[in-house]
């Protein structure tokens, strides 16, 4: 089973739903995607090194096998979710704190 792939896709769906529920609207901002591009650049360097030198290895049964360079495509989905959720929660709690 491709657990890593399923969890990566699920994390993207949860992120999108969270953005709508919290009304943070992070995913509709141009600044977010510029920031995401910068993060992807550094991910290619760091994660590319780690996966290229076999410091971090993935079980071929757990993901689809598509790679960008040496990095499994699923890592980019998780990276998107981690960055987006952090900003979504930041914006949500910042708005909540401003109301009190």
* R_g (Cα) of the chain, nearest Å: 16
In the prediction, which pLDDT does 11 show?
98
In the prediction, which pLDDT does 79 show?
94
In the prediction, which pLDDT does 86 show?
96
Mean pLDDT of all residues in 42-58: 94
Predicted TM-score (pTM) of this structure: 0.87
Question: Does residue 99 or residue 4 have the better pLDDT?
Answer: 4
Does residue 76 register a pLDDT over 80? yes
Report residue 1's pLDDT band, with 50, 70 and 90 as the boundaries: low
In the prediction, which pLDDT does 100 show?
62
């Amino acid at each position: 089973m491709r657990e890593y792939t399923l969890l990566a896709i699920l994390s993207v769906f949860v992120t999108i739903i969270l953005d709508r529920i919290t009304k943070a609207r992070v995913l509709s901002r141009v600044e977010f995607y510029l920031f995401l591009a910068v993060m992807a650049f550094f991910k290619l360097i760091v994660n590319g090194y780690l996966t290229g030198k076999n410091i971090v290895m993935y079980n071929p049964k757990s993901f689809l096998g598509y790679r960008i360079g040496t990095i499994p495509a699923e890592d980019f989905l998780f990276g998107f979710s981690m960055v987006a959720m952090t900003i979504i929660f930041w914006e949500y709690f910042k708005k909540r704190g401003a109301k009190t």
